[in-house]
Amino acid sequence: MIEEGSKSSKSMVEKRQLFMEMRAQNFDVIRLSTYRTACKLRFVQKRCNLHLVDVWNMIEAFRDNGLSTLDHNAEINVSRLETILSSIFYQLNKRLPTTHQINVEQSIGLLLNFIVATYDSEGHGKLTVFAMKAMLATMCGGKILDKLRYIFSQISDSNGVMVFAKFDQFLREVLKLPTAVFEGPSFGYTEHSVRTCFPQQKKILLNTFLDVLMADPPPQCLVWLPLMHRLANVENVFHPVECSYCRSESMMGFRYRCQQCHGYQLCQSCFWRGHASGPHSNQHQMKEHSSWKSPAKKLSHAISKSLGCMPIGEPPHPVFPEAAERPQDLAHTTQLRPVANDMNDTVLISSGAPTPSKSTLESPSRLDEEHRLIARYAARLAAEASNSTQCPPTDLGFNFDANKQQRQLIAELENKNREILQEIQRLRLEHEQASQPTPEKAQQNPTLLAELRLLRHRKDELERRMSALQESRRELMVQLEGLMRLLKDEEQKQATQTGSSPHSSPSHSASCTMPMPIRSTSAGSTPTHTPQDCLAGVGDDVLDAFSQGVPRNLRNDLLVAADSITNTMSSLVKELHSVDDGLDDEEENMRNGRDKVSSLKHSGKRHFTPSF
């Protein structure tokens, strides 16, 4: 008896744990009921880890657990609900990295107790399929547009027109959420709730439904729903401005600016609690900001808007086809994307062009995307196998043993997929390492690095040698200039002694003739130099000496010396060219190595492509 009493008291504590933690957050100090309700439901969503489950993952879980074939008014017991929640959270842990794993058992217990307290307050131990779908689709993560499209698919007929009775049933179920967090007086269900949402429209299609529920402001009974999504989007938004009441130098979350008091801004904590200072009053109109723009960005935005460079208003959602989308033949489907349809969780239709699916674009990782595709193909194969044996679809949702082979097949495919992804990752790393700079490549191929260094050292040495020879040649030419000056002085002395003019000497009569170029006699030498090019900066006497038509013996010796220096220069140029060719060959080998790594990567990708 004592043990039974302790177990019952422990069960009561677990059922009240979530509500006790929510009360400890002191959300009741928030002045406005809309923000109070949104904050409480956002706390429940995060505490139960529902914000990590995307709406497309939730829809997939409904289908995998056989809920798509059940009528909305069908009832399921608590143990069946616990099984569904277990599959949702265990699949979530498979998608999450190992460093972000959640406590599955705790999440299942908290969420199960919250659902039971919300939809089975009388203790019958059962709830309807529609109530569970409405609650989980509303409280899970994802975009509000995707949630509303799925909800419309559940409350519309085969022609794509909303059924008012089903929408009334949806409001009846979804408005139990504010009541569960003690906000029923503000957002409880009434019989006039449907007409307050659609007062005049008689035929509600998808675009009209989205226009009304995503308007600003939305219907009063559902005003907390878009606010809960805005709360999730601004939790980590930073505003580098000072709060006018608490004097905090920065804000996180929402920022509120008074429309009457110039420069008066409040953080979300002060605004929610109704704080005011100075001439500001709580009766003043406040504008909510979910992002921060610098004054320069505001000015450019205003100028662009005034010049007509950008649209004044953008539609709240894209326009969807009015006609109801019907299931397609999946036998030859090449690309999958989920769309809404009557009484179906998702319909997989084939698109003409290969475009990524919605669930693929919003998947947490590439691994999650591949697991989804594998799960869908395995589910389709299982459905074909069940049709061949003429097994009724209603039995599939309750016969869990029959799905054991299917789950084993999925597990094997997932393991194979992981191996392929690991191989692709390995090839990608090898390719990145092969594309790294030379110092890192040297660690993999030290012999190649040593040869490259030797070639570069030889090239530098030859360049230094060439520079030294050029300098030596210049010094030789300077010495030649001195010798020529001495010869000229000697000739002038002799001319003076004989009484003839130095200008009548035949040695200077041909000083205006074109100089003859001195070319290298070595075959294959690239550069050719003229005396003027080689003797740049040398005096005119040396140039005159090289331009003589009939040189003397000393002049011939000088020409021979100059020709020898030119031949030496040509040989140095040849050696430099040979070093450059060696470097080009080494670089070609390195490019061939990178091409081999790239081909290995492409071959890994071909093995990765699934064929179903």
- Residue 481 amino acid letter: E
Q: Mapping DSSP to helix (H, G, I), strand (E, B) and coil, where does residue 401 land?
A: helix
Structure tokens at 486: 């001495």
Q: pLDDT over 90 for what percent of the chain?
A: 33
Neighbours of 406 (CB within 10 A): 19
Q: d(Cα 346, Cα 327) in Å, to the nearest integer? A: 9
Within 8 A by CB and 6+ apart from 152, the residues are 162, 206, 209, 210, 340
Q: Ranked by mean pLDDT, which of 413-422, 447-456, 548-557, 571-580 comes out on top?
A: 413-422
Predicted pLDDT at 502 = 44
Q: Could you give the CA distance from residue 97 to residue 45 in angstroms, rounded to a whole number?
A: 20
So what's the pLDDT on residue 574?
A: 74
Per-residue pLDDT at 257: 92
Q: Could you tell me the two tokens for 437?
A: 């700079």
Distance (Å, whole) CA 148 – CA 316: 13
Closest CA to 126 of 116, 136, 138, 137: 116
Q: Tell me if 438 sits within 8 A of 501, measured CB to CB.
A: no
Q: For residues 590 and 30, what is the distance between their CA atoms, to the nearest angstrom?
A: 67
pLDDT, mean of residues 134-153: 95
**What is the model's pLDDT at position 129?**
95
Q: At what angle do helices 553-608 and 404-434 cross, to 10 degrees?
A: 170
Question: Is the per-residue pLDDT at 168 higher than 70?
Answer: yes
**What is the token pair recorded at 474?**
């210049």
Q: Please give the residue that has the higher pLDDT: either 138 or 589.
A: 138
Pick 391 or 350 by higher pLDDT: 391
d(CA 80, CA 299): 58
**CB within 8 A of 105, min separation 6: which ones?**
none
Question: 311 in the Ramachandran plot: left (φ > 0), alpha (ψ -120 to 50) or beta?
Answer: beta
Q: What is the spatial distance between Cα 63 and Cα 327, in angstroms, rounded to a whole number?
A: 15
Residue 543 confidence (pLDDT): 54
Tokens of 388: 């061949």
CB 324 within 8 A of CB 153: no
- Phi/psi for 184 (5° steps) reads -60, -40
Can you tell me the mean pLDDT for 583-603? Answer: 59
pLDDT tens-place string over residues 71-96: 999 999 999 999 999 999 999 999 99
8 Å CB contact between 316 and 210: yes
Is residue 603 over pLDDT 70? Answer: no
Match 């999730």 to its residue by tokens: 232
In the predicted model, what is the mean pLDDT of the chain?
A: 75
* Whole-number pLDDT of residue 534: 47
Question: Residue 119: CB partners within 8 Å, gap ≥ 6?
Answer: 127, 131, 132, 135, 173, 176
- Give the mean pLDDT of 191-211: 86
pLDDT of residue 135: 95
Q: Report the distance separating Cα 39 and Cα 30, nearest Å.
A: 9
Cα separation values, 157 from 152, 160, 193, 348, Å: 10, 6, 21, 19
The DSSP code sequence of 81-137 is: HHHHHHHHHHHHHHHS-GGG---HHHHHHHHHHHHHHHH-TT--SEEEHHHHHHHHH
CA pseudo-torsion sign 376, 381, 387, 393: negative
pLDDT of the residue at 264: 92
Q: Which of 285-294, 425-434, 482-491, 498-507 has the lowest mean pLDDT?
A: 498-507
Q: How far apart are CA 132 and CA 111, in angstroms?
A: 12
Looking at the predicted structure, is the pLDDT value of residue 537 above 90?
no
Residue 214 has pLDDT above 60, yes or no: yes
- Residue with the larger pLDDT of the pair 133 and 586: 133
DSSP string for 216-273: SS--GGGTHHHHHHHHHHHTT-EE-S--TTT--S-EES-EEEESSSTT-EEEHHHHHT
